[in-house]
Amino acid sequence: MGSKIYCLGEELESAFNKIWTEKIIFHVKQKEMLKRVRDTNDAGSSSELVTKQIRILEQNKDKLVYRQVVNDACLIASAYENLVAGNIIPFIEILKTFLSTRSKMSLFSADEAVLQAIVESLLPLKYRIPELSLVMDGTKLKGFGCFGYSDIFVLKGIGDSNVSLELKYISLVKLIDLIKNYKNKFNANDLENLDKIIEKENEEVLLKRSYSYWSREYGETKQTTIGEVLDNGVNQLKSYMNVISNGKTINYSSSGIFDERVKITKSNPNKLKGFVILVVGFHHVLWRSVEEIISNYSYDNKV
């Protein structure tokens, strides 16, 4: 019996070492691929960084926290690669997993800013531009349609397409406040119960739910439906993508990107894809893609 357990232990150790080695090799290959597209002046420092990272991983391969970090990093890298290839599903799955770890108390304060921060944390720092500044219509005044901000612009790196993400969050506080029995009288348990109901709710039914929001344009609370919020997000994203495809704006009178964080250069035609992500509570995530457009510019992160 003891001999069998010992052999089993050896097999498990061998299997782990194999997986660990494969992850390190995968990590190195990714770094080498990225290194080839960088400026040759950075080659020395990049090589040193890769060497240092491999050394740290080797020194700490027996520590559970390092294994978990490597696993998480590989999932994020894979989801990013799929995203810039036009497949958002792996990214949505990671987002769902992250949201499921949130506490029910967080449902009180969750909003689009919280969702924005979460999505940013699930994308590689070098390949995301949060709140990309745009001049939408130079003929309009500031605050009346002149400027716009694309929630997250994902740079393609070595991928196929740059991606624009539009984020929408449906607050359960605002949803439950429209339910007569709960109006102004609810707690975290009530929000959690509603979250569980919505998690299993049919999409068609969910999209017909009434929803209220504060309109800055009209200075009052407006009532709509979740479906209309999603449709508005799609239309908003389309307009952002059209402006992004114009490249850098020359002045306020022309539409285009007005953001010093982005280096924009004329290039061969490349694809610009877009996705709207709508989250209701913490357990129901919807997404929509919009028709890709062609841009004659390349985009890089200056930071």
pLDDT in tens, 12-44: 455 545 555 555 555 545 555 554 544 444 556
Q: What angle do the packed helices 43-59 and 2-36 form, to 10 degrees?
A: 170
Is the CA virtual torsion 294, 120, 227, 133 positive or negative? negative
pTM score of the predicted model:
0.80
Most confident listed range (107-111, 141-145, 214-218, 275-279): 275-279
Please give the Cα distance from 167 to 150 (Å, whole number): 9
Q: What is the DSSP letter of 177?
A: T
Mean pLDDT of 106-127: 95
pLDDT tens, position by position, 63-108: 888 888 888 889 999 999 999 999 999 999 999 999 999 999 999 9
Contact 168, 231 (CB under 8 A): no
The domain limits of the chain are: 2-62, 101-301
| Residue closest to 72 by CA, chosen among 101, 94, 100 | 94
Q: Are 302 and 260 in contact, with CB atoms under 8 Å apart?
A: yes
